[in-house]
Structure 1
Amino acid sequence: MLTGLKQINDILWGAPSLILLVGTGLFLTFILKGLQFSKLFYALKLAFSKDKEDSETEGDVSNFKALMTSLAGMIGNGNIAGVATAVTLGGPGAIFWMWVVGLLGMATKYAEALLAMKYRVKNESGEYSSGPMYYIERGLGKKWKPLAVAFAFFGAFAALGIGNSVQSNTIADVMQNSFNVKGVITGVILVVLTSLIIFGGLKRISSVAGVFVPVMAVFYIGASLLILGLNYDQIGPAFSMIFTYAFNPVSAVGGFSGIVVMEAVRNGVSKGIFSNEAGLGTVALIAGNAKTSHPVKQALVAMTGTFIVTIIVCTMTGLVLLVTGFWDTTGGLLSGVSHDPTLDAGALTSAAFGSSLGDIGEYIVSISVVFFGFSTILGWYVYGTKCFEYLFGLKYLGIYRFIYVGATFIGTVASLTTVWAFADMANALMMIPNLIGLLFLYKVIIGETNDYFSRFRKLSK
């Protein structure tokens, strides 16, 4: 079964899918006239300041809390192990292509959040529900409902896998290796903490995320900046390598076999998407809960999440690996370590931090992995319940909640190679319906954008 799943994933995550993802980002960037660049500072202002007009409109949580909940799902171990994997397999140039897919992904995230707000519905409990399944069905029409159902089905499954049990498995490994805490104990602690938060509903999750995510990000970024400060003379050469090897192969030196440019592109694009989730439609599952006076305002706030994750957090990891020289594993840095390549990449990041900060550096990475993984569990719970609610309604949501908590524990004590493969497949099968919806609803995206900015210009005169 595992071999078959890997073959399916090779097809689903092959060149056609990556071209579709990047192509959608390019198309949206073109029709929106590079909005993610020209309106970035305005978007950041909306994200981190209070707007009285927004607070008095209908919705469940503030713009900021919606963003933090989305970031809780995005800021995960992809920002540590995923970036390290991209750099070790694709060379320093992979970071450049990660930036490219992140900047284009900002337009994709903008479109997803805009449509989420435009087509959101109020459920029986009085909360808003949104996501690609709603804008596919309500925007494209009833005949497209099978596509909407497909997204919701695979989204609910992916939440149990890559958003939950895979994360708890990684947390358990780190707790065992760094702090000698057994998997069962980690599992019980995670179940208790997860239950206390998710059983309080969206408002409790968003409140926790509103505190948890900024602290977690500042902790990791602060440590990264400290290492860059200690190795300040290597920052210039690091950027030089990024731009040089984005368009030129990395030469073979010593035991290093070299890397062709195509590997830099492929790994930068795929790992960039893995870290920021642009195109998967996940941001649309929470964006519709925001209190905002216009869909475009929440869309602008949502796109800043991709900027924060890719351009800031992922760049920190990449630069640390480059300035410390720990991006090339062929020099024996990980000799004797026989684990999954992703875990080896995580160990490489830990070694890079440790080379400058000693044991405390390695503990910083370990703690970050634990907190990043836990935040992902919380964020993906919101995504999973939105998908499950669309399929079965609120009546049976309690069943999914208990399944989700159970998956958290299972992840800490089981081998999840097959679950990871299923989750990879589910992610790809979420992506395809979502991108179809975005492309077919491009006129709505343009119309709402033009409506808002024509009003904004009038008000600013």
Structure 2
Amino acid sequence: MEFLEYIFGKIGDLTWGWSLIPILVIFGVFITITTGFVQFQFFRRMFRVLSSNNNSADPNQISARAALLLSVGGRVGGGNIAGVAVAISLGGPGAVFWMWAIALVGMATSLVESSLAQLFKRKVGDGDYRGGPASAIIYGLGIEYRWLAVVYAICLIAAFGLGFNAFQGNTVAGAMQDSLGIDRLWTGVVLSAVSAVIIFGGIRRIAKAADVIVPIMAVGYLGIAVIIILMNITSIPGVLYDIFTNAFGLQEAVGGGMGAAIAQGLRRGLFSNEAGLGSAPNVAATAEVRHPISQGITQSFSVFIDTIIICTCTAFVILLGDVYVPGAEGIDGVALTQQSMVSHMGEWVKYFLTGAILLFAFSSIIYNYYLGENAMAVLTKSPVGILVLRIAIICIVFLGATAPGATAVFFFSDPMMGILALVNLLAIMMLFPVAMRLLRDFRAQLKAGVERPVLDPDAYADLDIDREAWNHPSA
């Protein structure tokens, strides 16, 4: 076991330690510039997905909005509550600025990776679609690159399907035990049982669950945060001043100064919004849309919601309170967020935050399961494989919830996600000309007066796309 931990530790050092974050940042800036700052050009268009008349009218289809909510449910989680607190504790207030910066850059990366996932999606069953980076590799780069898709699929199952679901179960059970005194066993039973009901219902039930859970958790959490911000509205200019001066080294809140702020802001921002990591495109491919870029814009909006809105609210709650002391050692993570809320609103709010953590974690569990299922479809077409995965994930959620130290077994999760991200970025780089072709087509149709651009499969006859998946652009 020690040898395996050493090997995976080295993999983590080689990916997250020095190579992955610079690559994600540099490539994100490259995409932003090359696409003509596409995330800003289509920013107003992102909000169209919230309108019901811009979604699929077919109840058997996964709408663009449902795919958005499912991806938001997956992105939003511990990174928004605990991750932001860790970033501020280790990097100072300036880390918040760099979280914003990486989110704005990541919006372009997410648009490109999700558009490619949409283009190469495959129709399966009655109105369902399946796709993602693995499909883009196989059908976009060619069958000789199938081995790369297999590596991607294995890493996706290991990191999201197994490891991160154990962490989510552990987080919920810990919060329930600490704030409500509920034994971990009962939390594990309920959480795994409800997860089973959703998981065995397939992608449509998963999407419907997200359609209910995500608005409740996001609106509820944001509502409390906005109240706290309004209660301290006169202190906002001072908080913004601290964020910007610390971000550029004009003030030093923690050891490491500007360097710590950049490192923590970029790292925690990427962990939170997942732009470029190759996870969200699996969900993006399920939506019924007229043109791949449309879902790319939607997933870009998901990054904006995750970091610019929700992470910012968490940061303001912490920085407006009196619990956080710059440079001081002590509480961090979810405890810092929780105690900051309590200092503003009173003891009752810790119970609310426990409920929010429960919903955040549950939405992440069903999201992580779908990523695992999508990856399993690359490895085997046998229904037995999917059944085994479902049972394994339910058991892992239970194990993570009931055994406080169980998550230590899943030390491979972060290194596997590092490899996953590198494979995804390699595929994006190789397929980037195709993404630019899609973008030019989308812009040309808008310029010609087409309100909602439509993909013409005949214009992409040289590519191995599933024409059946694009025969009915009814979204």
TM-score band by shorter chain is over 0.9
Q: Tell me if the contact between 1:59 and 1:292 (Cα under 8 Å) persists in the aligned partners.
A: no
CA gap 1:429/1:59 in 2 versus in 1, 3 angstroms: farther
Letter in 1 for 2:390: R
Letter in 2 for 1:286: V
Do residues 437 (structure 1) and 420 (structure 2) align?
Answer: no
> Distance in 2 between the 1:211 and 1:57 partners?
19
* More displaced stretch, 13-22 vs 165-174: 13-22
In structure 1, the partner of 2:393 is 404
In structure 2, the partner of 1:102 is 103
> Distance in 1 between the 2:297 and 2:65 partners?
12
Q: Tell me if the contact between 1:131 and 1:284 (Cα under 8 Å) persists in the aligned partners.
A: yes
Give the CA deviation at 1:124.
Answer: 5.6
Give the CA deviation at 1:7.
Answer: 3.9
Of the candidates 31, 36, 39, which is equivalent to residue 33 of structure 1? 36
Do residues 368 (structure 1) and 356 (structure 2) align?
Answer: yes
Q: Tell me if the contact between 1:167 and 1:411 (Cα under 8 Å) persists in the aligned partners.
A: yes
Give the CA deviation at 1:365.
Answer: 2.1
> Distance in 2 between the 1:94 and 1:162 partners?
27
Deviation track 1:252-291 (CA, whole Å, cap 9, x = no partner) reads 6xxxx63421111111001001111111111111111111
In structure 2, the partner of 1:357 is 345
Deviation track 1:152-186 (CA, whole Å, cap 9, x = no partner) reads 11101112334311100011111111111111111
Do residues 315 (structure 1) and 325 (structure 2) align?
Answer: no
Of the candidates 15, 22, 26, which is equivalent to residue 23 of structure 1? 26
Give the CA deviation at 1:251.
Answer: 3.5
- What is the DSSP-based 3-state SS (H/G/I as helix, E as strand, rest coil) of the residue aligned with 1:128? strand
In structure 2, the partner of 1:392 is 380
Do residues 209 (structure 1) and 206 (structure 2) align?
Answer: no
Q: Tell me if the contact between 1:249 and 1:258 (Cα under 8 Å) persists in the aligned partners.
A: no
In structure 2, the partner of 1:457 is 447
Of the candidates 48, 51, 58, which is equivalent to residue 50 of structure 2? 48
Q: Tell me if the contact between 1:178 and 1:363 (Cα under 8 Å) persists in the aligned partners.
A: yes
Give the CA deviation at 1:120.
Answer: 0.7
> Distance in 2 between the 1:287 and 1:175 partners?
32
> Distance in 2 between the 1:49 and 1:305 partners?
15
> Distance in 2 between the 1:416 and 1:249 partners?
43
Alignment of 1:120-131 (within 5 A): 120-123=121-124, 127-131=128-132
In structure 1, the partner of 2:334 is 346
Give the CA deviation at 1:442.
Answer: 1.0
CA gap 1:239/1:420 in 2 versus in 1, 3 angstroms: farther
CA gap 1:299/1:359 in 2 versus in 1, 3 angstroms: same
Deviation track 1:287-317 (CA, whole Å, cap 9, x = no partner) reads 1111111111111111100000000000001
- What is the DSSP-based 3-state SS (H/G/I as helix, E as strand, rest coil) of the residue aligned with 1:122? strand
Q: Tell me if the contact between 2:83 and 2:333 (Cα under 8 Å) persists in the aligned partners.
A: yes
Q: Tell me if the contact between 1:74 and 1:376 (Cα under 8 Å) persists in the aligned partners.
A: yes
Q: Tell me if the contact between 1:57 and 1:293 (Cα under 8 Å) persists in the aligned partners.
A: no
Q: Tell me if the contact between 1:97 and 1:264 (Cα under 8 Å) persists in the aligned partners.
A: yes
- What is the DSSP-based 3-state SS (H/G/I as helix, E as strand, rest coil) of the residue aligned with 2:323? coil
In structure 2, the partner of 1:377 is 365
Give the CA deviation at 1:418.
Answer: 3.1
Do residues 274 (structure 1) and 271 (structure 2) align?
Answer: yes
Of the candidates 281, 287, 291, which is equivalent to residue 288 of structure 2? 291
In structure 2, the partner of 1:338 is none
Give the CA deviation at 1:15.
Answer: 2.5
In structure 2, the partner of 1:337 is none
In structure 2, the partner of 1:341 is none
- What is the DSSP-based 3-state SS (H/G/I as helix, E as strand, rest coil) of the residue aligned with 1:55? coil
TM-score, L = length of structure 1: 0.92
Alignment of 1:143-182 (within 5 A): 143-182=144-183
Q: Tell me if the contact between 2:96 and 2:312 (Cα under 8 Å) persists in the aligned partners.
A: yes
Deviation track 1:38-77 (CA, whole Å, cap 9, x = no partner) reads 21111221x111346x626898300000111111111111
Give the CA deviation at 1:250.
Answer: 4.4
Q: Tell me if the contact between 1:221 and 1:313 (Cα under 8 Å) persists in the aligned partners.
A: yes
Q: Tell me if the contact between 1:57 and 1:292 (Cα under 8 Å) persists in the aligned partners.
A: no
Q: Tell me if the contact between 2:165 and 2:368 (Cα under 8 Å) persists in the aligned partners.
A: yes
Give the CA deviation at 1:363.
Answer: 2.0
Letter in 2 for 1:401: R
CA gap 1:141/1:161 in 2 versus in 1, 3 angstroms: same
CA gap 1:90/1:362 in 2 versus in 1, 3 angstroms: same
> Distance in 2 between the 1:38 and 1:59 partners?
32
> Distance in 1 between the 2:339 and 2:68 partners?
32
* More displaced stretch, 173-182 vs 416-425: 416-425
Aligned length: 446
In structure 1, the partner of 2:84 is 83
Give the CA deviation at 1:8.
Answer: 3.0
CA gap 1:266/1:59 in 2 versus in 1, 3 angstroms: farther
- What is the DSSP-based 3-state SS (H/G/I as helix, E as strand, rest coil) of the residue aligned with 1:359? coil
Letter in 1 for 2:316: L
> Distance in 1 between the 2:372 and 2:325 partners?
37
Letter in 2 for 1:38: Q
Alignment of 1:187-266 (within 5 A): 187-248=188-249, 250-251=251-252, 258-266=255-263
> Distance in 2 between the 1:170 and 1:94 partners?
24
CA gap 1:331/1:30 in 2 versus in 1, 3 angstroms: closer
Q: CA RMSD in A?
A: 1.9
- What is the DSSP-based 3-state SS (H/G/I as helix, E as strand, rest coil) of the residue aligned with 1:80? helix
Deviation track 1:166-224 (CA, whole Å, cap 9, x = no partner) reads 10001111111111111111110011110111111111110110111011001111111
| Gapped regions of structure 2 (runs ≥ 5) | 452-475
| Gapped regions of structure 1 (runs ≥ 5) | 335-343
> Distance in 2 between the 1:289 and 1:394 partners?
20
> Distance in 2 between the 1:59 and 1:186 partners?
33
Deviation track 1:411-461 (CA, whole Å, cap 9, x = no partner) reads 112213534421111111110110001111111111101101211221259
In structure 1, the partner of 2:461 is none
- What is the DSSP-based 3-state SS (H/G/I as helix, E as strand, rest coil) of the residue aligned with 1:427? helix
In structure 2, the partner of 1:340 is none
